[in-house]
């Protein structure tokens, strides 16, 4: 989740993304997460308040002005590790900026979806979102709550030349075609981006952004 938000906010490599229970505000995470995780960021970022500036610099919520592509958020309502307001605030900021975005809350789910049905529904939701923003054929899965995409303005697949594997979705987008297929569940922490000149690179977390 955080990797997706940071990659989309601080880089221009990707043209769309999906954040699953991601962190958008590091300082807020440090104060709102449960006690067991409350010191988790000390060794990764630094101690507060001394490292307050670093926390801000690395928090996507403060740099939405740099974001320029569609993004969908999936989050559990009972997430005690990364509270759902991390997704809600980022979603609202992206929506107000006018970018295509959607927020899907999973009632009763925790951090790192545990229920098989939730994992499947999230994958179906990603497929629907990516199809929609890419201007491809998109039909709402019958057992998925309606996903409302704000500011929808489909991208032109002819303008995108990349190959992406993220969270079980394989996006192969060329000058004249756009293809998306579900390849099965991939750990949310793993993603791979392959520029057009290296289409033969194998997928795997070693190529994470």
Q: What is the DSSP letter of 105?
A: E
Spatial distance between the Cα atoms of 104 and 163, rounded to a whole number of angstroms: 25
CATH code of the domain covering residue 151: 3.40.50.1820
pLDDT of residue 169: 59
Spatial distance between the Cα atoms of 132 and 129, rounded to a whole number of angstroms: 5
Strand partners, 187: none
Residue 173 lies in a domain: no
Residue 127 lies in a domain: yes
Spatial distance between the Cα atoms of 119 and 123, rounded to a whole number of angstroms: 6
- Confidence band, pLDDT 50/70/90 cuts, at residue 203: very low
Domain of 12 in residue numbering reads as 2-24+59-155
Output the six-digit token pair for 56.
Answer: 């801000």
Put simply, whether the predicted model's pTM sits higher than 0.75 gets the answer no
Residue 88 lies in a domain: yes
Residue 175 lies in a domain: no
Domain count, the chain: 1
Mention every residue, 6+ apart, whose C-beta is less than 8 A from residue 154. 132, 133, 134, 135
pLDDT in tens, 144-193: 777 889 999 776 655 554 545 555 555 655 545 555 555 444 444 444 44
Mean pLDDT on 6-34: 87
Strand partners, 72: 18, 102
Residue 140 lies in a domain: yes
């Amino acid at each position: 989740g955080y990797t997706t938000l940071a990659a989309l906010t601080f880089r221009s490599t990707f043209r769309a993304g999906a954040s699953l229970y991601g962190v958008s505000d590091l300082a807020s995470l440090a104060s709102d997460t449960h006690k067991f995780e409350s010191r988790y960021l000390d060794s990764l970022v630094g101690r507060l308040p001394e490292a307050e500036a670093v926390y801000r610099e690395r928090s996507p919520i403060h740099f939405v002005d740099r974001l320029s592509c569609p993004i969908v958020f999936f989050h559990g309502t009972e997430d005690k590790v990364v509270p759902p307001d991390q997704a809600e605030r980022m979603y609202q900021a992206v929506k107000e900026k006018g970018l295509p975005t959607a927020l899907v809350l999973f009632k009763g789910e925790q951090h790192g979806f545990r229920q098989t049905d939730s994992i499947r529904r999230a994958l179906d939701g990603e497929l629907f979102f990516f199809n929609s923003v890419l201007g491809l054929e998109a039909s709402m899965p019958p057992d998925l709550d309606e996903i409302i995409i704000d500011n929808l303005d489909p991208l032109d697949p002819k303008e995108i030349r990349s190959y992406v594997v993220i969270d079980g979705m394989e996006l192969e987008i060329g000058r004249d075609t756009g293809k998306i297929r579900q390849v099965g569940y991939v750990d949310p922490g793993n993603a791979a981006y392959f520029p057009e000149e290296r289409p033969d690179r194998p997928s795997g977390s070693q190529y994470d952004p």
